[in-house]
Structure 1
Amino acid sequence: MSRMLRASALMAAGTMVSRVTGFVRTMVLAYAIGTAALGDSYNAAYAIPYSILDLLLLGVLSSVVVPMIVRAQQQDPDGGRAYEQRLLTFATVALTVVAVLAVLAAPLLIDLYTGWAPGSRKYEVGVMLARFILPQLAFFGIGAVAGAILNTRDRFGAPMWAPVVNNLVVICVFVMYALVSQARDDIDAVTTADLALLGLGTTAGIVAQAAVLIVALRRAGFSFVPRFDLRNARLGEMGKAGVWTIGYVIVTQLGFLLTTNLSSSAGDQVPGHGISPYTLAFQLFQLPYGVVGVSVITAMLPRMSRAVGEGRLGDVREEFGSSVRLICALMVPMSLLLMVLGPAITVPIYGHGANSVYDAIYIGNVLQVYGLALVPFSIFQLLLRVFYSFGDTRTPVYVGAGTTAVNAGLMVVFYLLLPAEYAVMGLALAYAIAYGLGALLAWTLAGRRVGGLDGWTVGMAMTRMYLASLPTAVLALAAVWGVTEAFGGLRFVNSLIVLAVGGGLGLVLYLGVAHRMRIPEVNSIVGMVARRVGR
C-alpha cells in the first residue's frame, strides 16, 4: 500500500500542474466567449480533432505502439533507431494527409457532430473554427509519437510539461481575444479575424506542445531521418495487436457523437444549455479521477501484469483490492462534495465576463449530476486494467459496447422526456447510470477471470468510507444553506465562503472521522502527509 501510495503521489504531483493550467484555460475560455452560441461552436470544433486522433492513434498508443518500440529497442541490431524513425515518418505523413482531408471535410464533420442546420450562424462559425483548428491533427499526432519514444527512454519530464506549454499558449490567446475583440460572445458580430485568432491560436498551442517534445527527443539522442521503407514498420503487426483497442475507441466515440448531437440540439432550444456546459462540467468531473485515479492505475498495472505472467492470481486480487480501496478513499467524499457544492465550485470559475452567474450555476447543476458517476467510473476504469493485465483487449470492447449502448439509450430517453433546459443534466445522469451498470458487468467478468475480487471486503470498506463522508456532506449542505439564507444566493465571494467551509473544512472533517474509524487507506494518506509536513 505504502509503495503504491508513494508512486501514485509522485505521478499525481507531476500531472497537477498540467491539470491546473488546463483548469485556468477553461476559466479564461468561459470568460472570453461564454457558454452560449459562440462557446458551443468553439467547443464543437475543438472536440473533433481529439475524436479523430482517438480513432487513429491515441487509443493504441500506450497499449500497442509503446510495447512495439520497446521490443524493437531490445531486438533490433541498431537498438530500434530505424524503427522509431520509420514510425515517426509514417505518423508525420499520414496525419498531415488526414489533417488536410479533415480541413476540406469540415462542413461534413460539423454536420456529423452537431444537430445544427447547415446555413445557420452556429454552423457557419463552427465550420470556420474547425478549419482553423483541424490542422493541429498533424502536430498532435507527431507529438504523441515523440512522447511515446521518450517514455521508452525513461524521459518523462517533457511529456509531462509539454501540455502545460499548450495550455499557457491558449490562455494567452483567449486573454488577447477578450482584450481586442469587439464581438466577445456575440456570434452574430464575431469577425473572420476573431475566429482566426481563436482557431489558429488553439492550433498554435498544439504546435508549441509538439515542439517541446521534438526538442526533448533530440536532447535524448534521437536524430530524426525520414525513412520511407515502411514495409519494415510492422504496420500489419500493429494493426493486429491494436484492432480490439481500436474497436473500444470506436464504440466510445459513437457514444460521444450522440452526446454532441443531443447537447447541441438542446443548446439551440435554450442558449447556454448546450455543448459548452456539458463539456465544462465533464472536465471538472474528470479532474479528481485524472489526478488520483490515473496515478493509481499507472502504478498498479505493471505490478498486476507481472503477477499474471507469474501465475500469482492471489497477488492480482490483492493489488486490485488495495487499488480500488485507495481510489475510493478519496473519490467517495469527492463525489458527495460534487453533488452538494457543484454551483459553488463553478460560479467562481465560470461566472465572469461573457458568462453570467446564471450560466455558471447551470454548469454546476450538471456537475452535481456527474458527481453520481465519479465512483462507478473510477472503479470501471480499474476493472478494465484487470483484463489488460492478462493481455485481453477483447473483453473491454464488449463491456464498453454494452455500457455505451445503455448510455445511448438512456440519453435518448432523457432527452425526449425532459424539458430542454434539463436535457444536458439528463445526459450526465445517463452517463452515471450506464457506468454504474458497466462496473457491475466488468466486476462479474473480471472476478471470473481471477477467481473472485473479494467484493465483500471492498464493499464493507466502501460502506465505511460513505459513513465517514456523511458528516462532510451535512457540513457542505449547511454551508450552502447558511450562505444562501444570509447573503441571498451564490455569488463570487459567497461561493468562496461555501467552498472554504463545505469543501475545505469538510475534507478535514472527513479525514478526521475516517482516521477515528481506522480506515487503513485514509490513515496511510494522513500518515504520508504528516511525514512530509514534518520534513
Structure 2
Amino acid sequence: MQDAAASVFWRLRYGGGGVTATEQKSGGSSVLANSAVMAAGTMFSRLSGFLRSALLVAALGSGLHADVFNIANTVPNMLYILLAGGVFNAVLVPQLVKAQKNDEDGGAAYTDRIITLAGLFLGAVTIILVLGAPLLMRLYLGADWYSADHQAQLESTIDFARWCLPQVFFYGMFVLVGQVLNARGSFGPMMWAPIANNIIAISTLVIYLVVFGPSNSGGYTSAEETLLGLGSTLGIALQFLLLLPVLRKAGVRFRPRFDFRGAGLSQTAKLGIWTVLFVVVNQIAYTIVTRLASTGSAADGTGYTVYSNSFLVTQVPHSIITVSLATAILPILSRHGAAGELPELGRTLSRQLRNALAIVIPIAALLPVLSEDIAHLLFGYGAGADAFKTYAPTLSVFAVGLVFFTIHYLLLRGFYSLEQNRTVFFIQCSVATTNIVAALLLTRAFSAEHTAAALAGAYSLSYLVGSVVSYVVLKRTLGDLDGRGLLAFLARLVMVTVVAAAAAWLLRTGLGLINDEPTMVLALIGAAIVGALHLGMLLLGAQAAQVKELTAMVQQVARRLRR
C-alpha cells in the first residue's frame, strides 16, 4: 500500500512543466513558487502515507510476517520502474515540451500516440506478470523462504503478488498522465492524487484491524489476502483515475491512435534506450538488496519492512524539497541546454542545489538525534509495539545517504536537460556496483539483527560515490558549477548545522536520562522541544553566518503557510 509519490528506493521522478516568460526572467523565485505548490501536495501525501505505514506496522508488525505482504506489494512498483518508469519520467517531459512548441497541433497527436502505446504495452505486460507470479517471486526472495519452515509465508507471498501485480498498469498510466500534465504546467494534481490512494489503504487497514486484529507471525488466510491485496490495488487504480478529469480540463482530448510509424517517436525511443539501461542497472542492485533483506527477516532479524519504512521516513525532505525543485527546474534547465547556454545552466543548477541542501543537511543531522522517538511515534503500535527501537540504527544511517542522494539526484537533472542519458547510465553503473558490493560485504559482516542498517550503509556509500562522480563529470561538461561558491556555502551551513545538532543531542540525552522509556505523548512532546531547539539554533546561526539560502527557504515556506 504505497503511493507513487512514496515509491521505493529507485523510484525516479523527473517531472517538468512549461516555461513562461516570467520564469525566464525570474528564475530562482519562480522555481521556489512552483516548488511550494508541489511540496504542499507531497507533504499531505506523506502525512497520510505515514498514517498508512503506521497502521500497516500495527497490523502486521515489522518482521517476517510484514515482509510477506510488503515485498509482494512492492514488486509491482519495481517492475513498473524497470519496464517503463525511467522513460516516462526522464525522457517524456522534454519530448512533450518540444512537441507542444514545434507541432502544428500543439503536440496533441504525439500525446495520443504515447498514451495509446503505453496502455497497450503496460496491459500486455501486466497479464504476463500475473500469470507468472510464482516464478517472478523467486527473483526477490532468499533461499530460506523456500524451506519447509516458511511454506505458509511463501504461499501467502505468491497470493499477494497475484493481487498486487495489476498495479503495474495503473502505476504506469498514473505517471504517464501526470507527466503530460506537468509538461502543460499543471504541477499539483500528480502530487495530490496519491492522497486518495492512502485513504483507500488506511481504510483497508482499519477494516483489517477491526475484523482480523493485529498479528506478527504465520501466514495469511485467503480472506486476509483478498482484503489487503485488493485494497492495495484499488488505491493505485484510484489515483490514476483521478487524473483523467484533470487531463481533460487541461485541454487534452485523448483519442487512441495506432499510427506509430513516422510519428516522431523514434527520438523518444532512442533517448529511452539509455534510460532503460539506467533502470535495469538499478533494478539489478535493488533485486539483490531485496533478497538480502528477506534473508534478514527470515532469520528473525531486521529485513525489508524495517529497511523500506526507514527509507521512506528519511526521504520526506527529499520528496518535499528536492523532488519539487527538480520537477519545476527541469524545463528551465532544458531551455538553457537547448540554447547552448551552459554557464547559465550551471549557475541555475548550482543555485537550486544550495536551496535543497540548505534544508536537507540540517534535517539529516537531526534524524539520528530523534531516530528512536520518530520510530516510537510512527511504528510503536499494535503488532509493532515491541520492535520500534529496531528502526533507530537504520534511520540514522539512511540520514547520511539522504545528503548524497540529494546531490546526485539534482546533478542528474543537468545531464537530462542536455539529453545526455548515456552519461547518466555510466554514472549509475558506479552507484549500483558500489551498492551491490557494499551490501554483500556489510550484510555478511553484521548479524541478522542489523541487516537493514547494513543495507542502509551500502545505500549511503553508493550515493557518496554517485554524487562525487556526477559532480566531476557535469563540471567537466559545463565548464563550471560554481564550485568555490558551493564549498563556501557548505562550510557555513555545516558549521551552523553541527552547532544546532549538538545542542539538540544534548537536550535529547538529558531528556533520556530523566525518562528512558517515555510514553507516546512524552515522546512527541520531547521530539517537538528538541526539534524546536534545533530549528531555533539553525535560524540564529544562519543569520550570523549569512546562510541566505536557508533563511530564504524558511521565509518561502512561512509565506505559504500564512496564506
TM-score bracket for the superposition, by shorter chain length: over 0.9
Contact kept? 1:347, 1:364, Cα under 8 Å: no
Q: Which residue of 1 aligns with 2:550?
A: 522
State which drifts further: 201-210 or 175-184.
Answer: 175-184
Residue of structure 2 aligned with 1:174, choices 202, 205, 224 = 205
Offset from partner CA, 1:208-249 (integer Å, 9 cap, x none): 112112233334454444444443565544321211111111
Structure 1 residue 91: Cα displacement: 2.2
Q: How big is the alpha-carbon RMSD for the aligned residues of Structure 1 and Structure 2?
A: 2.2
Please show how residues 443-482 of structure 1 align to structure 2 within 5 Å.
443-482=471-510
> 1:114/1:453 Cα in 2 relative to 1: closer, same or farther (>3 Å)?
same
* Alpha-carbon distance in structure 2 between the residues aligned to 1:300 and 1:177: 42
Q: SS at 1:488's partner residue?
A: coil
> 1:191/1:332 Cα in 2 relative to 1: closer, same or farther (>3 Å)?
same
Structure 1 residue 517: Cα displacement: 1.8
* Alpha-carbon distance in structure 1 between the residues aligned to 2:107 and 2:560: 41
Offset from partner CA, 1:60-104 (integer Å, 9 cap, x none): 113323344444445555544444333323222221221111111
Q: Which residue of 2 aligns with 1:107?
A: 134
Q: SS at 2:455's partner residue?
A: helix
Structure 1 residue 256: Cα displacement: 0.7
Contact kept? 2:271, 2:419, Cα under 8 Å: no
* Alpha-carbon distance in structure 2 between the residues aligned to 1:79 and 1:533: 36
Q: Identity rate of aligned residues, in percent?
A: 35
Residue of structure 1 aligned with 2:75, choices 41, 48, 63 = 48
* Alpha-carbon distance in structure 2 between the residues aligned to 1:383 and 1:79: 30
Q: Which residue of 2 aligns with 1:57?
A: 84
Offset from partner CA, 1:149-200 (integer Å, 9 cap, x none): 3334433343232211111111111111111115633333x31011110001
Q: Which residue of 2 aligns with 1:140?
A: 171
Residue of structure 2 aligned with 1:316, choices 345, 351, 356 = 345
Contact kept? 2:45, 2:195, Cα under 8 Å: yes
> 1:514/1:221 Cα in 2 relative to 1: closer, same or farther (>3 Å)?
closer
> 1:375/1:314 Cα in 2 relative to 1: closer, same or farther (>3 Å)?
same
Contact kept? 1:281, 1:363, Cα under 8 Å: yes
Aligned residue type for 2:189: A
Residue of structure 2 aligned with 1:38, choices 53, 62, 65 = 65
Q: Which residue of 1 aligns with 2:273?
A: 243
Q: Which residue of 2 aligns with 1:504?
A: 532
* Alpha-carbon distance in structure 1 between the residues aligned to 2:228 and 2:342: 52
Residue of structure 2 aligned with 1:345, choices 363, 374, 393 = 374
Q: SS at 2:325's partner residue?
A: helix
Please show how residues 71-470 of structure 1 align to structure 2 within 5 Å.
71-76=98-103, 78-115=105-142, 116-118=144-146, 120-182=151-213, 184-188=215-219, 190-231=220-261, 234-271=264-301, 273-357=302-386, 359-470=387-498
* Alpha-carbon distance in structure 2 between the residues aligned to 1:28 and 1:183: 10
> 1:491/1:250 Cα in 2 relative to 1: closer, same or farther (>3 Å)?
farther
Contact kept? 2:37, 2:188, Cα under 8 Å: no
Contact kept? 2:42, 2:191, Cα under 8 Å: yes
Aligned residue type for 1:306: R
* Alpha-carbon distance in structure 2 between the residues aligned to 1:532 and 1:158: 18
Between 1 and 2, higher relative CO (CA 8 Å, sep ≥ 6) is seen in 2
> 1:192/1:68 Cα in 2 relative to 1: closer, same or farther (>3 Å)?
same
> 1:385/1:366 Cα in 2 relative to 1: closer, same or farther (>3 Å)?
same
Structure 1 residue 411: Cα displacement: 0.7
Contact kept? 2:37, 2:187, Cα under 8 Å: no
* Alpha-carbon distance in structure 2 between the residues aligned to 1:39 and 1:339: 25
State which drifts further: 476-485 or 191-200.
Answer: 476-485
Offset from partner CA, 1:458-491 (integer Å, 9 cap, x none): 1221121111112321222223322222113354
Aligned residue type for 2:329: M
Aligned residue type for 1:144: V
The unaligned stretches of length 5 or more in structure 1 are none
* Alpha-carbon distance in structure 2 between the residues aligned to 1:266 and 1:456: 44
Contact kept? 2:365, 2:399, Cα under 8 Å: yes
Contact kept? 1:110, 1:123, Cα under 8 Å: no
State which drifts further: 299-308 or 449-458.
Answer: 299-308
Contact kept? 1:476, 1:498, Cα under 8 Å: no
Offset from partner CA, 1:258-312 (integer Å, 9 cap, x none): 11000100111124x1110000000011111110111222233333333333333
Structure 1 residue 377: Cα displacement: 1.1
* Alpha-carbon distance in structure 1 between the residues aligned to 2:515 and 2:326: 43
* Alpha-carbon distance in structure 1 between the residues aligned to 2:299 and 2:190: 41
The unaligned stretches of length 5 or more in structure 2 are 1-27
Aligned residue type for 1:96: G
Aligned residue type for 1:350: F
* Alpha-carbon distance in structure 2 between the residues aligned to 1:151 and 1:8: 12
Aligned residue type for 2:296: A
Aligned residue type for 1:7: N
Residue of structure 1 aligned with 2:55, choices 28, 31, 38 = 28
* Alpha-carbon distance in structure 2 between the residues aligned to 1:288 and 1:76: 38
Count of equivalent residues: 532
* Alpha-carbon distance in structure 1 between the residues aligned to 2:114 and 2:49: 29
The alignment's TM-score, normalised by the length of structure 2, stands at 0.89
> 1:178/1:427 Cα in 2 relative to 1: closer, same or farther (>3 Å)?
same
Contact kept? 1:483, 1:494, Cα under 8 Å: no
Aligned residue type for 1:455: G
Contact kept? 1:487, 1:494, Cα under 8 Å: no
Contact kept? 1:177, 1:194, Cα under 8 Å: yes
State which drifts further: 365-374 or 72-81.
Answer: 72-81
Aligned residue type for 1:15: T
Contact kept? 1:472, 1:502, Cα under 8 Å: no
Structure 1 residue 19: Cα displacement: 2.0
Structure 1 residue 381: Cα displacement: 1.0
